[in-house]
Amino acid sequence: MSRVGKKPISIPSGVTVSVDKANVVTVKGPKGELTQELDRDITIEVKEGELTVLRPTEQIRHRALHGLYRALLANMIKGVTDGFIKKLELVGVGYKAVSTGNMLDLALGYSHNIIFDIPKEVKVTTETLKGKNPEITLESIDNQLLGAVCAKIRSLRKPEPYKGKGVRFVGEVVRKKAGKSAGK
């Protein structure tokens, strides 16, 4: 049995979970509403403030989907109650980030600035303090979307292993390489 899949999800007060006939789960909470379509074999039970995900057989496919949908539903419930926040930092001389509405203007050492359009479900703020690296803070109730946006921004200039320059998550450790040995 899946360790993740069999763990029940507690539903906090103020959050409602509903499942329709097409196996679409809707979670409503104080921060918003999220929907997720489930596989036709996976079923959900809502009893006494707890949500459990059930699978029909022990097939490999069902076992994989069991843990996946349980994790997705837990993230949905956490998102509509608390929300998710991810922070990125720009490490490098001259690297800058400016946000205007849902547009992110990035200067990442290329010959041109990169204008990145952020989805409307994600809220973006930038902060540049003297003596510190510029930071980009992204907030959303949808963890999947937030992770995808962060990964896309990070892919614009990944941290390189020699000097560590690039876009990285706050607290991310970049393993550095030695580089060429000095001349004689």
Predicted pLDDT of residue 183: 55
Report helix, strand or coil for 37: strand
pLDDT above 70 covers a percentage of the chain that reads 97
Strand ranges in the chain using DSSP code E only, listed in sequence order? 9-10, 16-19, 24-28, 33-37, 43-47, 50-54, 84-91, 96-100, 103-107, 114-117, 123-127, 135-140, 166-169
Amino acid, single-letter form, for residue 90? L
For the segment 154-174, what is each residue's pLDDT rounded down to a tens digit?
A: 999 999 999 989 999 999 999
What number is the average pLDDT over the span 138-150? Answer: 96
What is the value of pTM for the model shown?
0.88
Domains of the chain, CATH where assigned? 9-81 (3.90.930.12), 84-169 (3.90.930.12)
CB contact set of 177 (below 8 Å; sequence gap of 6+) = 161, 162
Q: Is the pLDDT of residue 113 over 60?
A: yes
For the segment 27-71, what is each residue's pLDDT rounded down to a tens digit?
A: 999 999 999 999 999 999 998 889 999 999 989 999 999 999 999
Q: How confident is the model at residue 6 (pLDDT cuts 50, 70, 90)?
A: confident
What number is the average pLDDT over the span 78-107? Answer: 94
Q: How confident is the model at residue 179 (pLDDT cuts 50, 70, 90)?
A: confident
Q: Is the pLDDT of residue 83 over 90?
A: yes
Look at residues 65, 144, 111 and name the one whose alpha carbon lies nearest to residue 55: 65
What number is the average pLDDT over the span 128-146? Answer: 94
Predicted pLDDT of residue 79: 95
Predicted pLDDT of residue 180: 82
Angle between helices 143-155 and 60-81 (to 10 degrees): 90
Q: Are 27 and 15 in contact (CB under 8 A)?
A: yes
Q: Are 90 and 24 in contact (CB under 8 A)?
A: no
Amino acid, single-letter form, for residue 103? M
Q: How confident is the model at residue 182 (pLDDT cuts 50, 70, 90)?
A: low
